[in-house]
Structure 1
Amino acid sequence: MKVKFLFISLLFCLFNNSVSQIIVNNNNPFNNAISLVDSILLGGGVVSSNHTFQGDAIQIGYFNAVNTNLNMDSGIVMSTGDINSLDPNFNGVINLPVNNVSDPDLLTVANSVPGLIGQTFSVSGIFDAALLEFDFIPNSDSLVFNYIFGSNEYLTWVNSEYNDVFGFFISGPGISGPYSSPPGFPNGSINIATVPNSNPPLPITISSVNNVLNSNYYINNTNVFQTLLCNGFTQKFQAYASVQCGQTYHIRLALADGSDANLDSWVFLEAESFSSNNTIGLSSGIADSDTLLYEGCNSAYFNFERTDTVGDFTVHFDFNGTAIMGLDYDSIVDSLVIPSGQLVDTLFINPILDSISENTETVVLSVVYQDCSGQLDTSSATIYISDYTPLQITVLDSVNICDQIGEVALINSNLYGGLEPISINWSNGSNSDSIIVSPQNTELYSVSVYDNCDQEVHDSCMVWVQCPIENINIFTPNNDGINDFFIPINLDQYPNPSIMIYNRWGQLVYENENYQNNWDGSHYLSGEQLNEGLYYYFINPESEKFDYKDININYSGIIGQVQIIRD
């Protein structure tokens, strides 16, 4: 027996501020079938009537998913449970539906799937059904609308009896099908909720679209920042039906749990997508199956689909919205031609990165067409553009540590901007935001960072292993191979120190701006061996780590004295 779990967690995280979480609402008027259909679902070219909803009122309502990963901005949501369970921020009571609604056609659809996909499971019954029905009159010879199916049955119960099911059953003139239809529509109905291009038509369930079968249509919503509490959902599909202009049709949008009443499923119906727009169907989306559109990062598209392939077909359109063509997205012509023999053509939108902080912008494309009564009507689709903050990294140029006293270096990547998920690769193999290192010798650590916008940045930090220089007071340049050179302790850890040596009368006897521990007690000009005795040295190690005292206005470092002894 499965148990229905609802995980509502308080998430403490830093996340791109352009990502939002779904909002659902089934308060009045969003619990009324007439308002939901006429004010939200319908697009151009359709008139509806005789609206009904069967199910618990908690199973239907309005959703706003702008800037979520659902790839559908708003519309109607139908559920086998309480629609509020989708909202990660909902802190009220999640109720169970009180529901005795049934639909035998849904059971038939559910049990048609196993044989079509090479499986043998069987669905024993349907539960928590939600049915939205209405009549409509199209103004053209086609009907289209957009939808997404999601379920918490994913992926645990794929190819099992818990095969939650939905169907879009349409009936009317010119349609004859195996499923039931209401009085006045005597020839039955067909189900138009099927996997695109499947033959025979394959109904959409968790077993027919998942990470193995038809995986190009599936989005896994686990192990990500969840903008809605749903384990998985499909890409946005477009339902299509051939109809007769000006005739009355009936559609039943139905959803139910399979074999038990646990673990919810949902159908999302896109706002203003239920339309009959002469010979052109209009839809929008984001390229490469992305779920959000960002400036300078990815592309979106408008799809134009006609009902036949005879001859070239020219589509004229206008652009509106808050985004400005040429500034916020590339300039685009105001028409395109769908060539003879081709049903669909696509217009791509490429947002421009302007590095200006702005609210989400819109690109609204409108197609003007003539309906079957000779009247002009308009169909529109909208694309939303979010800001993209370029990926940046700021790593310290260098840091100094002393290994002799156990010091370590903390190197932070200091990332800013970019698009999640972000990948970090340090030269030492770490993938963390920061690394702690303690090399034995001076070493360069580099980092490469990549984001989901295919942007990459690089930086590096030199970790100098440098301990404080310690004075010495004697050296013996007598060529016996022992202590023949002036080498203050730890000076060898500094790459280019400068040094000056003076005799007791203040005369400069040696200087080197890139000392390499090679002074043998000779004069720097004449090369003659200096007399034994006391000499004074000034060393500037050229280090930013240690606070060496100022020697004069132009020089800081170490002051000391050393005795030259040759015998």
Structure 2
Amino acid sequence: MKIRFFAAGAALFACLNAGTASAVATSVSTNPVALANALSGTGLHVLGATLSGDAAAGTFSGGMAALGINSGVVLSTGSTLACIGSSNTSGSCGNTDTATSRTLTMTFKSDGTDLFFNYVFGSEEYNSYVGSKFNDQFTLTLTGPGYSAVNLAQLPNGDTVSINNVNLNKNSTYYRNNSYEATGSDASVPPYTTAPSLNLPIQLDGLTTVLTAKANHLTVGATYSLAFSITDVSDKLLDSAVFIQAGSVGNVPVPPSGVPEPASWAMMVGGFGLAGAAMRRRAAPRRLA
């Protein structure tokens, strides 16, 4: 569920976030080549691109406060992008959705042997459905000389990027909590019942930190394909999304402009809470058996 902080600390919080707390702006696009070109960075030559699946795709901007990435391409499991980019409210994205997945596949040639790109995965499945069968996931599949459908969406320890692999209890270094819930399947599992929400200006209840995917030993001038795929698992409810940084897919790593570390946010939120806060909570979205 989402929380808001008011009272004595609210004015200070507003000042600290002036100019950065607006919602993420999204725009639907069905032009795969335009999306691939938006991602293309140093040393990458886009040869073509395709979009598949029934969910929404497009571009985003104004994402620095919420994501740590200002602009780029967004792929969703939902039928619309408007909800996931909206401010952190008491609603949920995808409670009546019928879409399930979206994949952007780009073919390219590279001037160098290394490939990098930055992305953020987020979902409305957090935190109530962590550890359940509703394990929405993101994959980045590289195919070409030396790579046979290799998933690059991995954490440094080799875990893939999904609801059950990145959360408050597992690989929490790479997770940002945007929901304060003590209900659902995670209610009795610390630290879910005590974790503060970062109250980021985006609807998704949890997000990864900015992650960097890497591939080495590419063959210069050879043709490769890279498939970005976001998928609902087990049902169509509650949207997930991936945000890929514009211009970051290339031979040279592009540093994202980061958001405060979770520990720093926790200290700020804690300070405002001590000043006297009133919280508004949302019940976790429910699924019918």
TM range (shorter): 0.7 to 0.9
Shift of 1:226: 3.8
Distance 1:22 1:41, change over 3 A: same
Do the aligned partners of 2:24 and 2:60 also contact (CA within 8 Å) in 1?
yes
Which of the two has greater strand per residue? Answer: 1
Q: Deviations over 1:94-145 (max 9, x none)?
A: 886665xxxxxxxxxxxxxxxxxxxxxxxxxxxx121111111011001111
Answer with 1 or 2: which has the greater Rg.
1
Report the alpha carbon displacement of residue 44 of structure 1 after superposing the two structures with TM. Answer: 1.1
Shift of the 63–169 alpha-carbon distance from structure 1 to 2, 3 Å rule, reads: same
Per the alignment, do residues 226 and 235 of structure 1 end up closer, same or farther by CA in structure 2, a change over 3 Å counting? closer
Equivalent position of 1:65 in the other structure? 62
Residues 493-541 of structure 1, C-alpha deviation per residue, up to 9 Å, x if partnerless? xxxxxxxxxxxxxxxxxxxxxxxxxxxxxxxxxxxxxxxxxxxxxxxxx
Residue 68 of structure 1 contacts residue 291 of structure 1 at CA under 8 Å; is this kept in 2? Answer: no
Kindly indicate whether the alpha-carbon contact (under 8 Å) linking 2:69 and 2:256 is maintained by their aligned counterparts in 1: no
Amino acid at match of 2:27: N
* Alignment match, 1:153: 125
Among 131, 150, 165, the residue aligned to 2:103: 131
> Separation in 1 of the partners of 2:172 and 2:32?
34
CA gap of 1:25–1:160, structure 2 versus 1, over 3 A, is same
Letter in 1 for 2:119: Y
Tell whether the 8 Å contact from 1:132 to 1:254 is kept in structure 2 after alignment. Answer: yes
Which runs of structure 2 are paired with 1:106-145 in the superposition (5 Å)?
128-145=100-117
**C-alpha contact (below 8 Å) 2:98/2:236 kept by paired residues:** no
Mapping of residues 440-519 of structure 1, within 5 Å: none
2:271 corresponds in structure 1 to 423
Name 2:285's counterpart in structure 1.
none
Q: State how far apart, in whole Å, the 2-side matches of 1:288 and 1:87 are.
A: 20
1:270 aligned residue = 245
Q: CA shift at 1:166, angstroms?
A: 1.6
Asked if the contact 2:210–2:256 (Cα under 8 Å) also holds between the matched residues in 1, the reply is no
Identity of paired residues, percent?
27
Report the AA paired with residue 189 of structure 1: A
> 1:158–1:421: structure 2 CA closer, same or farther, 3 Å change rule?
closer
Query: Which residue of 230, 247, 259 corresponds with 1:255?
Result: 230
Kindly indicate whether structure 1 or structure 2 has the higher relative contact order, using CA contacts under 8 Å at least 6 residues apart. 2
1:25–1:202 CA distance, 2 compared to 1 (3 A): same
Q: Is 2:23 the partner of 1:49?
A: no
Tell me how many residue pairs correspond in the alignment: 242
Correspondent of 1:218 among 154, 169, 175: 175
Unaligned runs of 5+ in 2: 180-196, 278-289
Name 1:194's counterpart in structure 2: 154
TM-aligned CA distance change 1:267 to 1:247, over 3 Å: same
Letter in 1 for 2:23: Q
Measured after TM superposition, the shift of residue 233 of structure 1 is 0.4
Structure 1 distance, partners of 2:271, 2:87, is 28
1:69 aligns to what SS in structure 2? helix
- Which AA in structure 1 matches 2:159? L
CA distance in 2, matches of 1:248, 1:261: 34
Aligned equivalents of 1:214, 1:192: Cα separation in 2: 17
Show CA shifts across 1:259-285 (max 9, x none).
1111111111001100124xxx33234
State the 1:228 CA deviation: 0.5
Tell me the C-alpha RMSD between the 2 structures. 3.2
Kept after mapping to 1: 8 A contact 2:24/2:202: yes
C-alpha displacement at 1:202, in angstroms?
1.6
Amino acid at match of 2:42: G
TM-score, structure 1 as length reference: 0.39
Match of 2:205 among 231, 235, 238: 231
Deviations 1:354-394 (A, max 9, x none): xxxxxxxxxxxxxxxxxxxxxxxxxxxxxxxxxxxxxxxxx
* SS of residue in 2 equivalent to 1:423: helix
Is this contact kept in 2: 1:164–1:206, CA < 8 A? Answer: yes
Q: Distance in 1 between matches of 2:250 and 2:236?
A: 33
CA apart distance, 1:288 = 5.9
Q: Distance in 2 between matches of 1:172 and 1:221?
A: 38
Q: Which of 236, 245, 251 does residue 220 from structure 2 map onto?
A: 245
Tell me which residue corresponds to 1:85.
83
SS of 2:35's equivalent in the other structure is helix
TM-score by length of 2: 0.74
Residue 67 of structure 2 aligns to a residue whose secondary structure is coil
Evaluate the alpha carbon distance shift between residue 72 and residue 284 of structure 1 in structure 2; reply closer, same or farther with a 3 A threshold: closer
Matched, 1:35 2:34: yes
